[in-house]
Amino acid sequence: MLYFENDYTEGACSAVLEALIRTNGEKLAPYGDDAYSLSAKEKIREICAAPEAEVYFLTGGTQTNKTVIAGMLQSYEGVIAAQTGHINCHEAGAIELSGHKVLALPHRDGKLDAGEVERFLGTFWGDEAHEHMVFPGMVYISHPTEYGTLYTKAELEALSAVCRANNIPLFLDGARIGYGVMTPESDVSLVDIAALCDVFYIGGTKVGALCGEAVVFPRNNAPKHFKTMIKQNGAMLAKSRLVGVQFDALFTDNVYFRIAENAITKACRLRKILAEKNYRFFIDSPTNQIFVILSDEKLAELRKNVVISFWEKLDERHTVVRFATSWATTDEDVDELEKLL
């Protein structure tokens, strides 16, 4: 069986696994004070060119989004997101459970448009009844988006400018940020993100770790007592080494970037194969997720040998599916798939 279902099918990439093995017997401080967490934070500060950054490690994406958003919003504020944003669709209402509305705006290829955000903010502040409405208190974007698309640097700058003009933070969900920065078409680096966003996270779970996300407040701007917020959100591990060791390994010798690059290389090959074979793309996504329209017969046939993700029904006879590559995808996997397509 071939696996192109998602980017969290395997365990840890080899560097991460080796680090866990190597450090297993060490006696380390708990609750975020272990030496590997401290070391990993320093490495992340360097890679982001953000020497003032505060970095916190959590274990998963929904947990991270919830803790960051609830931690930064006032009770009367909500978070602006694309209609297709992960927090709006696939987190089981975690944000609302924490008391805050997701203010959903239309998307373009999964992205929020700075002009749209600006108009929304202008309308809100111009409305005489705005005291009876949810205040927009943050902008949330994902990069890559849920459709595998990427913001350009100009788009990110525009969003950042709108946020700063309105004095609200810009939060970037980087669950797959590694794939984003390693995409050749992209002109956005981690340094850009640290400069333009007020908080973001570097995803581990989907980029080679067993679990773990690194939240970065790039300008020493974490909410007061954020550590206690992590605790009360159930997001603090006693053995914080588990995430600390993994991120320390990921940011040693460019492991994070090298494994992300592998996924991108394989995705490019696969995209080319699909194009040559005249498959129809559902959306033009340059990262490690490829959305393709298949006839239902073709889908049934493929599924005998390949695991891929159902995305949505297009019409009565066609289905949108997702092929995802990862740090673990090999050229042999792509060769095999090519034969089947």
Query: Residue 29 is which amino acid?
Result: A
CA dist 332 → 120, 230, 266 (Å): 49, 42, 10
Q: Among the candidate windows 88-96, 150-158, 161-169, 262-270, which touches its own copies by CB under 8 A?
A: 88-96
Which residues from 243-302 bind its own copies, rule CB under 8 A?
Answer: none
Please tell me the distance from the alpha carbon of residue 241 to that of residue 59, in angstroms, as a whole number.
12
Interaction mask 117-146, its own copies, x per CB under 8 A: -----------xx-xxxxx-----------
- Residue from 119, 164, 225, 317 that binds its own copies (CB under 8 A)? 225
Scored b (16 or more CB within 10 A) or e, 115-154 reads ebbbebbeebeeeeeeeeeebbbbbbbbbbbbbbbbbeee
Smallest gap from residue 46 Cβ to its own copies (A): 26
Closer by beta carbon to its own copies, 180 or else 204: 204
71 binds its own copies (CB under 8 A): yes
Give the Cβ contact number of residue 180 at 10 Å: 29
Which tokens is 308 given? 């891929």
- Residue from 38, 89, 161, 341 that binds its own copies (CB under 8 A)? 89
74 binds its own copies (CB under 8 A): yes
Length of the chain: 341
Dmax (CA) of the chain: 63
Smallest gap from residue 204 Cβ to its own copies (A): 10
Smallest gap from residue 51 Cβ to its own copies (A): 24
Alpha helices in the chain (DSSP H): 14-23, 35-47, 61-72, 86-89, 94-97, 114-126, 153-166, 177-181, 190-196, 226-232, 241-250, 255-276, 296-302, 331-340
Which residues from 10-29 bind its own copies, rule CB under 8 A?
Answer: 10-12, 17, 20-21, 23-28
Smallest gap from residue 276 Cβ to its own copies (A): 27
Q: Among the candidate windows 57-65, 142-150, 260-268, 279-287, which touches its own copies by CB under 8 A?
A: 57-65
Closer by beta carbon to its own copies, 61 or else 286: 61
Smallest gap from residue 58 Cβ to its own copies (A): 8
**3-state secondary structure at position 194:** helix
